[in-house]
Amino acid sequence: MTLVAVSKTKPTDVIEEAFEAGQLAFGENYAQEAIDKAAAITGAKVKWHFIGPVQSNKTRALAAGMDWIHTVDRPKIALRLNEQRPNNMLPLNVCVQVNISREPSKAGLLPEDLNDFLPLFDDLPNLRVRGLMAIPAPASTVAAQRQPFRELRQLFESSKANYPALDTLSMGMSADLEAAVAEGATMVRIGTDIFGPR
């Protein structure tokens, strides 16, 4: 299980303190803030995860500055990240964002579109597709929270039939961490419960 400490809006001294205490993975969801913080905190072991919406005009900086992008849901963005990932770096790790609760106008592919999307990565050598990410609609009981996470895990498992290298299920935030872990999250993204309210 990987804990991504979501440090959006928090100053770099707070991130440095967490890093010195042994936390290595940090998540940011505003592109410019992510790029600036990654440039400021550069230890060889620190890993930067981008978890916000990716706009075309930010792909170049994100491709060079991030270790992971959790929110790939359009071919155009995948193609740009692949092309703009510097050749002297390892492939960029990506997760495909799925709109698992089928909320209108929310980010992510619909579950039924995943099968047609994954083959795209066969031809993108500078990206390494690692798995799936989702932000389900809020729910008030743990049982209700578990349902969409279970659906994401089932989708992940069926995708592994064709893509056995998939190893990452990025799901769970402060409010639904327990439900996500119970359903098999391999990566959780926690902000408030680590750094306090924003």
Ligand X SMILES: *Cc1c(COP(=O)(O)O)cnc(C)c1O
Choosing from 79, 107, 120, 175, the residue that interacts with ligand X (CB under 6 A) is 175
Judged by CB under 6 A, does residue 150 bind ligand X?
no
- Cβ neighbourhood burial of 26 (10 Å; 0-12, 13-18, 19+): buried
Choosing from 29, 82, 93, 186, the residue that interacts with ligand X (CB under 6 A) is 29
Choosing from 31, 51, 95, 96, the residue that interacts with ligand X (CB under 6 A) is 51
- Residue with Cβ nearer ligand X (12 or 115): 12
Listed ranges 75-83, 102-110, 114-122, 172-180: which one lies at the site for ligand X (CB under 6 A): 172-180
Judged by CB under 6 A, does residue 99 bind ligand X?
no
In angstroms, the CA 1 to CA 143 distance is 21
| Total chain residues near ligand X (CB under 6 A) | 13
Closest approach of ligand X to the CB of residue 162, in Å? 26
Judged by CB under 6 A, does residue 14 bind ligand X?
no
In angstroms, the CA 24 to CA 50 distance is 14
> Rounded to an integer, what is the distance from CA 75 to the centroid of its chain?
16
Phi, psi angles (nearest 5°) of residue 150 = -65, -40
Closest approach of ligand X to the CB of residue 191, in Å? 3
Judged by CB under 6 A, does residue 106 bind ligand X?
no
Judged by CB under 6 A, does residue 173 bind ligand X?
yes
Binding mask 118-137 for ligand X (x = CB under 6 A): -----------------x--
> Which residues are CB-neighbours of 195 under 8 A, at least 6 positions away?
5, 6, 7, 10, 14, 18
Q: Output the DSSP codes for 49-117.
A: EE-SPPPGGGHHHHHHH-SEEEEE--HHHHHHHHHHS-TTSPPEEEEEEB-TT--TT-SSB-GGGHHHH
Residue type, 14: V
Judged by CB under 6 A, does residue 191 bind ligand X?
yes
Listed ranges 73-81, 123-131, 150-158, 188-196: which one lies at the site for ligand X (CB under 6 A): 188-196
Listed ranges 86-94, 106-114, 161-169, 190-198: which one lies at the site for ligand X (CB under 6 A): 190-198
- Cβ neighbourhood burial of 190 (10 Å; 0-12, 13-18, 19+): middle
Instruction: List residues near ligand X by CB under 6 A.
Output: 6, 8, 29, 51, 135, 173-175, 189-193
